[in-house]
Amino acid sequence: MLIIRPIRLSDYSALYRCAVESGHGFTSLPENEELLSHRIEHSLYSFAKEEITAPSDEGYLMVGIDSDTGEVAGTTAIEASVGWDLPFYSYHIDTIVHSSRRLGVNKIVKLLSLGNNYTGCSELCSLFLLPRFRKGMNGKLMSKCRFLMMAEHPERFSSTIIAEMRGVSDEQGNSPFWQWLQEHFFGIDFTLADYLAGSGHKGFIADLMPKLPIYVNLLSQEAQSVIGKVHDKTRPALKILENEGFSCRDYVDIFDAGPTVECHIKHIRSVRESFSSHVVIEDCASGVPVIVSNTSMENFRATMTNALFDAERNHVTISSEVAKALLVDNGDRVRVLVNH
């Protein structure tokens, strides 16, 4: 059984392993001891923070734990509000028409315009599973547990939820989109730019990024072909979010041109369909597959199991093993999502 909980200081080694294995283009998990340690400490502060009425600088980093071995299987996270401490840049794909009535010419042209339009939004990030745990429903649990947290604690999150999807790059970390930018503006390779951004050193973006919109048709064919496309390893994560109601509104990442998807928190399928219920602890062999979480923030727990419902009494029956994992007892309230 995979159990989701807030990260701890003792999880540092496992987090570093995830950072190494996530590879190039995974900006939110840089291979940097100081930054990863700070991220754990900031997450501890965020989970412990009380009386929040609006999202600010909180960052909630969680890990999935194999209940049989105690091994960390992967990570998942939410940033409560992006762009306040560090700028959050993205490109918007704009469409304009160059037209001449006299010549009878109409030309549709696409532009990449740099902006900070997602400032203040909550961001889903750092979803990564170690290879041997990429099976069954683990990916869905790691992704959807965040929506149960949002449904239970909406005051901690923005009305708009976004996720930057990793764009196209090869095994050596070469991004076709960045290669064009590197040649004409930056002079540093993709892996270094990606590392600097993940390390919080984003000043070079404002210093070196072209100040005017970029005409897409001036880019190399290789760069144009990957705009709005995702890395092969990111397709399953994108599919989960699309099924939740997320879509791309023509915003792409400034490094690899991967799409940014968004959804209003009230329109996210798992937020809408999850419900509150009271626990009955009873070991049973039947039931329907669900994702279930407790209602705590500091001691958040979530897992996937089979459960029985009594709609009339608003009861959900779970096993003693699951109840122990969720830190709940008979009569306690939990949040439940029937797994689709």
Region at 330 (left for phi over 0; alpha for psi -120 to 50; beta for the rest): beta
In angstroms, the CA 169 to CA 26 distance is 11
What is d(CA 163, CA 248) in angstroms, rounded to the nearest whole number? 10
Which one from 24, 92, 98, 231 is the annotated catalytic residue?
A: 231
Cα separations (Å) of 153 from 12, 45, 138, 184, 227? 27, 16, 23, 45, 35
Q: How far apart are CA 243 and CA 292, in angstroms?
A: 19
Segments in the chain forming alpha helices (H) = 12-22, 33-48, 138-152, 176-181, 190-198, 203-208, 221-225, 235-244, 269-273, 320-326
Where does residue 197 rank: exposed (0-12), middle (13-18), buried (19+ CB within 10 A)?
A: buried
Q: Which amino acid is at 224?
A: Q
**Active-site annotation holds for 231:** yes
For CA atoms 208, 212, 218, 221, give the dihedral sign: positive
The encoded tokens of residue 115 equal 């902006």
Residue 284 to residue 51: CA distance in whole angstroms: 38
Can you tell me the distance from the alpha carbon of 59 to that of 88, in angstroms, rounded to the nearest whole number? Answer: 15
Can you name the residues that pair with 77 across neighbouring β-strands? 61, 125
Q: Are the C-beta atoms of 129 and 74 separated by less than 8 Å?
A: yes
Which is nearest to 290 in space by CA: 307, 274, 302, 276?
A: 307
Annotated active-site positions, please? 231
